[in-house]
């Protein structure tokens, strides 16, 4: 049983405060959805939890099983069991996924016996062309192939807590369903805890959230169960955001 605890997190980028006191606790086997309009600070939150350079933590804490993550470099956070699937997966010319997996397993002290066979099996399960395992990481892959690739890595590494920053962006409905189903299975089979950042309910129709949090202007303005995402679909963020937010219910208006 593991717990990621984000406590009163206030953080800035380029001198501008983006997160205004975030409190969020994700435990093994739970799916928490964080939904919010563009610019709310969703990617900033994921970047700070994982330790992307360039962000200033002003106050607050990020703890994994009581260990201060903010004091560690990103690679040690990953070793500790955090994993981030980025909104725009990075292309890494000259580096094959199979090599990344061997190094990641070794760095975590995980058994590499039969690793190539397991990679092949995972590729088949997620619908990722096995030929791509030996191509440069994410280079020239389609949006769907990139997210299948990222999901495959989650399945192989079995982190304690995975953060999905818009797993649903840039891929078609079939790929989205396959990736969401695989993550959902990981929560059941391996008790992975999930922080799923998304604009839309579509992801959450497959990856069913236990909790939904609405993030507006760097603050969680509402938390509830899966029904909150359904309500959002009807009312839009304006209902949660106060008078200075765009009016009107259609989510499409907010995300041109
Ligand atoms: P979201 O993921 O919810 O759409 P982001 O976390 O990406 O929002 O961005 C929140 C705010 O922080 C935006 O106003 C964005 O312009 C700003 N921001 C994010 N990263 C940077 C950066 N590296 N430099 C300057 N501003 C940034
Ligand atoms: Mg974002």
CA of 123 to the centre of ligand 2 (A): 27
CA of 11 to the centre of ligand 1 (A): 11
Q: What is the pTM of this model?
A: 0.92
Output phi, psi for 13, to 5 deg.
Answer: -130, 130
Q: Which residues are registered as beta bridge partners of 254? A: none
Q: To test ligand 1's pocket by mutation, which of 41, 85, 198, 217 has the most ligand atoms within 8 angstroms of CB?
A: 41
Which pLDDT value is given to residue 242?
57
Q: To test ligand 1's pocket by mutation, which of 18, 49, 245 has the most ligand atoms within 8 angstroms of CB?
A: 18
How far, CA to CA in Å, does 57 sit from each of 51, 78, 81, 107? 10, 19, 21, 27
User: pLDDT tens string for the chain (256 positions)?
Assistant: 999 999 999 999 999 999 999 999 999 999 999 999 999 999 999 999 999 999 999 999 999 999 999 999 999 999 999 999 999 999 999 999 999 999 999 999 999 999 999 999 999 999 999 999 989 999 999 999 999 999 999 999 999 999 999 999 989 999 999 999 999 999 999 999 999 999 888 899 999 999 999 999 999 999 999 999 999 989 888 888 753 444 334 443 444 3
Atom of ligand 1 nearest to the CA of 166: 2
Domain boundaries, the chain: 3-86+160-255
Nearest to 251 by CA among 243, 239, 242: 239
Output phi, psi for 161, to 5 deg.
Answer: -135, 130
Query: Residue 85 and residue 151: Cα distance in Å, rounded?
Result: 8
Closest protein CA for atom 18 of ligand 1 = 13
- Whether 18 lines ligand 1, by a CB cut-off of 6 Å, is yes
Which pLDDT value is given to residue 129?
94
Q: Is the dihedral of CA 193, 196, 202, 204 positive or negative?
A: positive
Closest protein CA for atom 23 of ligand 1 = 13
How far, CA to CA in Å, does 55 sit from each of 50, 63, 171? 11, 17, 28
Which pLDDT value is given to residue 253?
41
- Structural fold of domain 3-86+160-255: Rossmann fold (3.40.50)
Which pLDDT value is given to residue 101?
94
Query: Residue 82 and residue 77: Cα distance in Å, rounded?
Result: 6
Nearest to 252 by CA among 231, 230, 237: 237
Which pLDDT value is given to residue 199?
83
């Amino acid at each position: 049983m593991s717990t990621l605890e984000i406590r009163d997190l206030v953080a800035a980028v380029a001198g501008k405060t983006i997160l205004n006191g975030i409190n969020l606790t994700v435990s093994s086997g739970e799916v928490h959805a964080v939904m919010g309009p563009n610019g709310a600070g969703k990617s900033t939150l994921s970047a700070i939890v994982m330790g992307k350079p360039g962000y200033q933590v002003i106050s607050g804490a990020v703890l994994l099983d009581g260990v201060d993550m903010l004091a560690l470099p990103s690679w040690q956070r990953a070793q500790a069991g955090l994993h981030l699937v980025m909104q725009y997966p990075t292309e890494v010319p000259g580096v094959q996924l199979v090599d990344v997996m061997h190094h990641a397993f070794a760095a975590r002290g995980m058994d590499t016996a039969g690793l190539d066979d397991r990679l092949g099996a995972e590729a088949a399960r997620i619908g990722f062309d096995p030929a791509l395992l030996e191509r440069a990481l994410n280079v020239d892959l389609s949006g769907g192939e990139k997210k299948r690739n990222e999901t495959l890595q989650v399945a192989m590494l079995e982190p304690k807590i995975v953060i999905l920053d818009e797993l649903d962006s840039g891929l078609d409905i079939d790929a989205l369903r396959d990736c969401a189903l695989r993550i959902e299975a990981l929560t059941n089979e391996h008790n992975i805890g999930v922080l799923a950042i998304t604009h839309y309910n579509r992801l959450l129709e497959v990856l069913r959230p236990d909790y939904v949090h609405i993030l507006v202007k760097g603050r969680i303005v509402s938390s509830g169960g899966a029904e909150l995402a359904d309500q959002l679909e009807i009312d839009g963020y304006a209902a949660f955001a106060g008078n200075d937010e765009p009016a009107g219910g259609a989510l499409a208006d907010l995300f041109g």
